[in-house]
């Protein structure tokens, strides 16, 4: 647990810069504030971006907390888009590229992204960029193919890329299958790391057919996304790819920033529960955080 507290302490330093809008510069919180990004939807799944501070409650291990940070304007995001290019995606890869392009097009000038692909090997563009033309060029000319699906390795690789980013950190992963023998990590380690470092994971899973066999995305992606406050989308038709990538881009620009100062600095895992006090609406946010020890020690 000590190592996780160190990671979280570093995460809080990174999260101490929360950007509150394109034109308002950097909104800073001190390193003892726990930042939470929340997505609110109504019964029809429509995004609700107009709520106020009084509409939210945050509980730390079951105890109601006072919100010290509330923002509802657009905040920049640093995102790694990682696409499954294993053999089962051969027939759908061009559709996937066009769908990912829709996501890149909708990034704002203050956003930054890396594009990558994974199979049994993982590749990505070198540095974060706000240049959408560069991202789209990489998407159409540098994506590489392979066979097995090293899903957890790909997410871990993406988090490595995000380590030094100070804006909201997001992994957007697309796959049509289960993990096939990742060599560097596993699901439990990826989940623990994402929770400790405050990385939000969005997952798009596609059910597909390859060589007469039906494939289905790894169902643990749903748990990973729910625990980190991201979203999980399981598709049965490639026709839904464009709208899903577009939806995620829209959602990332309509999230709330909530923050509170924890009562205990004990280096332990705390459960956090974000609620919205409006009938018919639901909220997604991460489920836990690790409190730093007094003085930032481990």
Q: Is the pLDDT of residue 23 over 60?
A: no
In the chain, the number of structural domains is 2
Please tell me the predicted confidence (pLDDT) of residue 136: 96
d(CA 3, CA 99): 38
Confidence tier at 17 by pLDDT (50, 70, 90):
very low
- Which H or E run contains 283? strand 282-284
Residues 151 and 177 in one domain: yes
Distances (CA, A) of 242 to 230, 246, 252, 254: 18, 6, 16, 19
Q: Is the pLDDT of residue 101 over 90?
A: yes
Per-residue pLDDT tens for 124-162? 999 999 999 999 999 999 988 888 889 999 999 999 999
247 assigned to some structural domain: yes
Q: Is the pLDDT of residue 66 over 80?
A: yes
Q: Is the pLDDT of residue 15 over 80?
A: no
Neighbours of 262 (CB within 10 A): 18
Please tell me the predicted confidence (pLDDT) of residue 28: 54
Say which residue, 25 or 296, is predicted with more confidence: 296
Please tell me the predicted confidence (pLDDT) of residue 206: 87
Q: Which two tokens stand for residue 30?
A: 């001190």
Give the CA radius of gyration of the chain.
19
The answer to whether 180 and 173 have CB atoms below 8 angstroms apart is no
d(CA 162, CA 96): 23
Please tell me the predicted confidence (pLDDT) of residue 298: 46
187 assigned to some structural domain: yes
Neighbours of 44 (CB within 10 A): 6
Q: Measuring CA to CA, which residue among 45, 106, 139, 115 is closest to residue 246?
A: 106
Residues 67 and 123 in one domain: no
Residues 166 and 220 in one domain: yes
| Mean pLDDT of all residues in 34-43 | 96
The rounded Cα 114 to chain-centroid distance in angstroms is 13
**Residue 221 carries which DSSP code?**
H
d(CA 109, CA 144): 27
298 assigned to some structural domain: no
Please tell me the predicted confidence (pLDDT) of residue 293: 76
Helix (H, G, I), strand (E, B) or coil at 100: helix
Residues 169 and 229 in one domain: yes
Phi/psi region, residue 62 (left: phi>0; alpha: psi -120 to 50; beta: rest), is left
Give the least confident one: 18-22, 100-104, 294-298: 18-22
Please tell me the predicted confidence (pLDDT) of residue 176: 85
Phi/psi region, residue 75 (left: phi>0; alpha: psi -120 to 50; beta: rest), is beta
Residues 108 and 220 in one domain: yes
Q: Measuring CA to CA, which residue among 92, 100, 117, 85 is closest to residue 208?
A: 92
Residues 189 and 248 in one domain: yes
| Mean pLDDT of all residues in 64-71 | 96
264 assigned to some structural domain: yes
Residues 40 and 147 in one domain: no
| Mean pLDDT of all residues in 79-103 | 89
Distances (CA, A) of 150 to 153, 208, 224, 278: 5, 18, 16, 41
Q: Measuring CA to CA, which residue among 197, 221, 222 is closest to residue 288?
A: 197
**Would the pTM count as exceeding 0.85?**
yes
Mean pLDDT of the chain: 87
By residue range, what is the domain housing residue 26? 2-73+255-293
Give the least confident one: 94-103, 205-214, 233-242: 205-214
Confidence tier at 297 by pLDDT (50, 70, 90):
very low
127 assigned to some structural domain: yes
| Mean pLDDT of all residues in 14-25 | 39
Residues 59 and 97 in one domain: no
Residues 121 and 246 in one domain: yes
Please tell me the predicted confidence (pLDDT) of residue 258: 96
CATH code of the domain covering residue 279 = 2.60.40
d(CA 72, CA 66): 17
Residues 59 and 91 in one domain: no
């Amino acid at each position: 647990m000590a190592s996780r507290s160190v990671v979280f302490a570093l995460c809080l330093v990174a999260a101490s810069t929360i950007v509150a809008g394109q034109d308002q510069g950097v909104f800073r919180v001190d390193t003892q504030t726990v930042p939470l990004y929340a997505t609110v939807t109504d019964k029809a799944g429509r995004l609700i971006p107009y709520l106020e501070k009084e509409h939210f409650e945050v509980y730390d291990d079951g105890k109601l907390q006072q919100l010290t940070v509330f923002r509802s304007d657009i905040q920049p995001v640093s995102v790694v888009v990682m696409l499954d290019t294993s053999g089962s995606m051969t027939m759908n890869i061009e559709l996937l590229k066009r769908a990912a392009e829709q996501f890149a097009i909708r990034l704002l000038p203050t956003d930054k992204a890396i594009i990558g692909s994974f199979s049994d090997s993982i590749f990505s563009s070198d540095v974060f960029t706000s240049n959408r033309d560069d991202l789209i060029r990489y998407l159409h000319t540098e994506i590489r193919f392979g066979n097995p699906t090293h899903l957890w390795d790909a997410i871990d690789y993406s988090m490595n890329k995000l380590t030094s980013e100070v804006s909201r950190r997001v992994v957007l992963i697309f796959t049509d299958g289960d993990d096939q023998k990742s060599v560097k990590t596993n699901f439990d380690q990826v989940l623990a790391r994402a929770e400790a470092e405050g990385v939000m994971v969005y997952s798009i899973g596609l059910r597909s057919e390859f060589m007469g066999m039906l494939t289905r995305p790894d169902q643990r992606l749903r748990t990973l996304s729910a625990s980190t406050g991201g979203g999980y989308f399981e598709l049965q038709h490639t026709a839904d790819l464009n709208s899903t990538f577009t939806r995620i881009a829209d959602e990332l620009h309509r999230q709330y920033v909530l923050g509170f100062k924890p009562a205990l600095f004990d280096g332990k895992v705390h459960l956090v529960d974000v609620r919205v006090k409006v009938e018919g609406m639901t909220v997604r946010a991460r489920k836990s955080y690790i409190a730093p020890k007094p003085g930032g020690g481990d």
